[in-house]
Amino acid sequence: MRTRILLFSIFSLTIFSSQAQDKPNIVIVFMDNFGWGEPGFNGGGITRGAPTPRMDKLADEGMRLTNFNVEVQCTPSRSAIMTGRYAIRSGNGTVPLGEGVYGLVQWEVTMAEMLSNNGYATGMFGKWHLGRTKGRFPTDQGFDEWYGVPNSTDESTYSSLEGFSQSGVPETYVMSSVKGEEPKKVRPYTLDYRPLIDRDLTDKAKEFMTKSVEENKPFFLYLPYTATHFPTMPHPDFKDKSGHGAWADLLMQIDSYLGELQDKVDELGVTDKTLFIFTADNGPEAVGYNSTNLTVETSMQGSAGPWRGTLFTGFEGGLRVPFVMKWPGKIKAGYSSDEIVHVMDLFPTIGAITKSDIPQDRIIDGIDMSDFFLGKTDKSGRDGFIVYMGNDIFGVKWKNWKLHFEEQDAWNSIKNTYTMPRVYNLYDDPQERNNVLFPHTWVPKAALPQLEEHIISLKENPPIPTGQSDPYEPK
């Protein structure tokens, strides 16, 4: 009898181990305000002051998307990648400016919850920006562990600014937590730690991967770095290393850390079992054209490459970000595509690849692109999407065309609203400056049905109100 029990236990463990190994590890490196034109593989690198050999190597070994799109603000993009839904649906269409409740309600199912329910170890290290109150932290939303900041990196400047200490606004802290426990304040997020934090995030990410492999568990690593968000302050190891200023130093730092992560995956012997994604939340920070930048030490002029616009605009420069996906033996190496993909497509795609349960009781706006990523088709299946800036519909993207109902040139500029949509051909006019509504009045007829469907879906399934408290149940 004991022999039978022992054999059964060994057999069960073998099956469990085999099933765990069948599930690919998922790594998502999510940069902050990192423009399309920064990496060498998109024409940046040395033209930005520093080569990016590890980014370029990743692109050579994986699939590069030149038309990968996001929301144009931090919080909406993070909501979209986590839920597979337009951020407007979850009540996270805008970056929060006040101190009230915001973020994801418990009803939402995040990518971390989806993968955790499928036996994954889930770790997040970095910027959350989807809630900073009880029940809204990463470890309340499917992550086993988290180290990072709940909000944005500009808050690291607060304590050094005149008047802040008398404002009554609470100081921002770096936090740490594990699932089932209240997050702990580790240290104030101040300017002395701002250049150091991404080093710590990288180290903790490597430790998490090591621990997961040792425990024979597939892992989901979500690494939303604080770079390249204002203030631009590279780690001391990289300060003045490029010889071309702080931005180039920071580019070298990002490239080096990305290389460390790839090397750790190789060292752990799980390269062929790991789906590795490198991308960003929105386009770059930059002051508007003809503006004067009076900031010296923390100046930022990110690059969107050939595209017009920055974050907080509806132009391609705000929407398109770098994207590389690597999975040896599964994803064709050195392949590039200009097919339209949106960040919210990662949720159902990763769900399909990992054979995880995708929620069926709500609208998922993302499209399962597993066949496209795995080379079974050369079409993504997406012709376009609705362009939001905050809670406002700025336009519609359809194939190589853009319709703009509203425009603003930069994050701090005046918004223009048009009585007739402006129409741009992105192949002919990547800067979106030449309105060709006439003679191309056929374009709105082809592009607008998706907007009509979207508006109807919002009426039938009303968005979660911003600041909605828990518990929440859709009506």
Question: How big is the chain, counted in residues?
Answer: 475
Distance CA 426, CA 69 (A): 14
Give the relative orientation of helices 53-61 and 246-267 as an angle to the nearest 10 degrees: 50
Task: Judge whether 146 and 95 are in contact, CB under 8 Å.
Answer: no
Distance CA 285, CA 298 (A): 12
Task: Judge whether 373 and 63 are in contact, CB under 8 Å.
Answer: yes
Task: Judge whether 93 and 87 are in contact, CB under 8 Å.
Answer: yes
314 CB-near residues (< 8 Å, 6+ apart): 72, 387, 388, 389, 394, 395, 404, 406, 407, 408
- Closest listed residue to residue 61, CA positions, set 339, 262, 322: 262
Q: Please identify which of the residues 129, 229, 342, 404 carries the catalytic annotation.
A: 129
Four-residue CA torsion sign, 347, 348, 352, 357 = positive
Burial (0-12, 13-18, 19+ Cβ within 10 Å), 460: exposed
**Residue 416 pairs with which residues in a beta bridge?**
407
> Is 129 an active-site residue?
yes
Q: Which residues are catalytic?
A: 74, 129
